[in-house]
Chains A and B, each alone.
With several copies, the nearest count.
Chain A
Amino acid sequence: MTLSREGIAYRVAADLPEGSYVNLGIGIPSLIPSFLPDGREVVFHSENGILGVGPTAAPGEEDPDVVNASKEYVTLLPGSSVFDHALSFTMIRGGHITHAVIGAIEVAANGDLANWSVPGEKVPGVGGAMDLAFGIPNLFVAMTHVTSKGRPKILNACQCPLTAPRCVRRIYTDLAVIDITADGLLLREVAPGLDPAAVQAKTEAPLQIAAGCREMDVPATWSGVALRV
Chain B
Amino acid sequence: MIDKTMASCREAVATVFDGARIMFGGFGDVGMPGQLIEALRDQGATDLVAISNGAGGGGYALGGLIQDGRVRKLMASFPSPRAAAFRERYLKGELELELIPQGTLVERIRAGGAGLGGFYTPTGAGTALAEGKEIRVIDGREYVFEGPLKADFAFIKAHRADRFGNLSFRRTMRNFNQIMATAATTVIVEVDEIVPAGGLSAEEIHTPGIFIDRVVAVARHPQLFQPRKPGGAA
Physical contact A–B (CB less than 8 Å):
yes
Residue in A26, A71, A82, A162 whose beta carbon sits within 8 Å of that of B202 in the complex: A82
A161 touches B127 (CB 8 A): yes
**Cβ of A214 < 8 Å from any Cβ of B?**
no
**Cβ of B124 < 8 Å from any Cβ of A?**
yes
How far, in whole Å, are A78 and B53 apart by their CA atoms in the complex?
29
Residues of B within 8 Å of A, CB-based: how many? 79
How far, in whole Å, are A64 and B226 apart by their CA atoms in the complex?
8
Contact flag A128-B103 (CB < 8 Å), given A72-B232, A94-B115: yes
**Cβ of A130 < 8 Å from any Cβ of B?**
yes
B122 touches A93 (CB 8 A): yes
Residues of A within 8 Å of B, CB-based: how many? 72
How far, in whole Å, are A50 and B175 apart by their CA atoms in the complex?
10
A126 CB to nearest B CB, Å: 5
Contact flag A127-B102 (CB < 8 Å), given A65-B31, A83-B208: yes
How far, in whole Å, are A51 and B208 apart by their CA atoms in the complex?
8
How far, in whole Å, are A83 and B176 apart by their CA atoms in the complex?
10
**Cβ of B219 < 8 Å from any Cβ of A?**
no
A177 CB to nearest B CB, Å: 24
**Cβ of B63 < 8 Å from any Cβ of A?**
no
The residue of chain A having its C-beta at the shortest distance from the C-beta of B112 within the complex is: A94
Instruction: Please provide the chain B residues from 96 to 132 with a CB less than 8 Å away from any CB of chain A in the complex.
Output: 97, 99-104, 106-107, 110, 112-116, 121-129
Residue in B27, B172, B200, B210 whose beta carbon sits within 8 Å of that of A91 in the complex: B210
B114 touches A82 (CB 8 A): no
A27 to chain B: which residues have CB within 8 Å? 233
**Cβ of A192 < 8 Å from any Cβ of B?**
no
B166 touches A131 (CB 8 A): no
A164 touches B127 (CB 8 A): yes
A168 CB to nearest B CB, Å: 14
Contact flag A26-B102 (CB < 8 Å), given A79-B164, A131-B123: no
A162 touches B128 (CB 8 A): yes
How far, in whole Å, are A219 and B174 apart by their CA atoms in the complex?
42
Residue in A64, A71, A124 whose beta carbon sits within 8 Å of that of B225 in the complex: A64
Output the residue of A57, A71, A91, A127 with the most chain B CB within 10 A: A127
How far, in whole Å, are A59 and B124 apart by their CA atoms in the complex?
39
A142 CB to nearest B CB, Å: 14
**Cβ of B179 < 8 Å from any Cβ of A?**
yes
Instruction: Please provide the chain A residues from 129 to 157 with a CB less than 8 Å away from any CB of chain B in the complex.
Output: 129-131, 134-135
B234 touches A82 (CB 8 A): no
Instruction: Please provide the chain A residues from 7 to 27 with a CB less than 8 Å away from any CB of chain B in the complex.
Output: 18-19, 21, 26-27
Among B16-24, B37-45, B64-72, B75-83, the stretch in contact with A: B75-83
Contact flag A72-B231 (CB < 8 Å), given A81-B205, A128-B77: yes
B219 CB to nearest A CB, Å: 13
**A contact set with B: CB distance below 8 Å:** 18-19, 21, 26-27, 30-31, 39, 41, 43, 45-52, 56-57, 59-60, 62-67, 69-73, 76, 78-87, 89-97, 117, 121-131, 134-135, 161-165
Query: Nearest 4 CB-CB pairs, A to B?
Result: A78-B198, A89-B103, A131-B103, A93-B115
Sample of 5 more A-B contacts, CB < 8 Å, known A63-B171, A130-B127, A162-B128: A43-B209, A79-B197, A79-B198, A91-B208, A128-B103
Give 12 A-B contacts (CB < 8 Å), ordered by A residue. Answer: A52-B164, A67-B29, A67-B30, A71-B30, A71-B234, A79-B163, A81-B209, A85-B175, A91-B208, A93-B103, A125-B77, A125-B79
